[in-house]
Structure 1
Amino acid sequence: MTRASRVLLAGTAASLLSGLPSTVHAALTGKDLMAAAKAAGTLVPGRKDRPDATAGALVHFAVSATWTVVLAAIDQRRKLGVTGGAVAGLAIAALDLNLIGRAYPAIRKLPQLPQWADHVAFGAIVGALLAAGGPDVRHHDEY
């Protein structure tokens, strides 16, 4: 598997799976399962006070893709693995939730611990999948 394929796989899997902690928390506490997605939708310019799950899904995938590229670049210099990815997820959470998110009421209202857990899961998944592929495999024609 090429490096690009591993990065694409890692980003896709992390984007799809990393919301499990907050989704499980919402289900167990009887909260809106789509609250985090709706809150993410407020990051779209002009939607700060208009949460929307569809816009949130688009924002989530764009933000996930951006962070995946950042983590993949870091991983090329220093292998992240699960632990390094999880630590990176904590750093991403600090930026996303504390620095940027505090300006958005819908994000501020979300239960924070599950949101931090989502970010840690994202980083851990990306780190694990980048590490799982091993070295790049390239097929060469034999002469």
Structure 2
Amino acid sequence: MTALLRLAPPRFSRRDLFHAWWVATLFSGLPSTLHALSTGGDLLEATRAAGQMLLPGVNDTVILFGAAALVHPAVSLFWALVFARLLPRTRTCGWATAGAAAVALLDLCVIAPWAFPAVAALPFWPQLADHLAWGALLGGTLQWRQRRHARAR
């Protein structure tokens, strides 16, 4: 995969990618948060699970919140950089959402059960929805910024 990333040139400016990453990172947790709110679930369960990716065995919510504040943006940035090299400049939102579905399956069905049991224990569908939201937000923001640049020319 590293060779592929070196070969594929970036398709988006750093500024556009930063904005898209930031929007996706900030708002992609809304589906699982809304699910927890509507079902009376634990609003911080996913945050604690993300924090335990960095600090397994820690149970203190405040410490895990801090760890999650590092882990979530870092993982999001990793995938945003991968997507920036692979996404086409047309139909970016749709391709990013489809790519995020593939990442969700990798994250939730392969990596989490093996390496991150707290993440694997989370309900699947809300986490899938978060991944899809991340892809739609990343791709939608990139697509919107591209159109904005084209109109400005």
Query: Shorter chain as normaliser: what TM range?
Result: 0.7 to 0.9
Mapped to 2, the partners of 1:128 and 1:29 lie a distance apart of: 29
CA shift at 1:91, angstroms?
Answer: 0.8
TM-score of the two chains, using structure 2 as the length reference? 0.79
1:12 and 2:19 are equivalent in the alignment = no
TM-score of the two chains, using structure 1 as the length reference? 0.85
CA RMSD across the alignment: 1.9
Which consecutive unaligned segments of at least 5 residues does structure 2 have?
1-11
CA shift at 1:110, angstroms?
Answer: 0.7
Residue pairs, 1:1-143, within 5 angstroms: 3-44=13-54, 47-51=55-59, 52-75=64-87, 77=88, 79-103=90-114, 104-134=116-146
Q: Percent sequence identity over matched residues? A: 38
Whose helix fraction is larger, Structure 1's or Structure 2's? 2
**3-state secondary structure, aligned to 1:134:** helix
Question: How many residues get paired?
Answer: 133
Which consecutive unaligned segments of at least 5 residues does structure 1 have?
138-143
Deviations 1:105-142 (A, max 9, x none): 211221110000000110111111111122796xxxxx
Mapped to 2, the partners of 1:54 and 1:97 lie a distance apart of: 22
CA shift at 1:78, angstroms?
Answer: 5.3
Structure 1 segments of 4+ aligned residues over 3 angstroms from their partners: 77-80
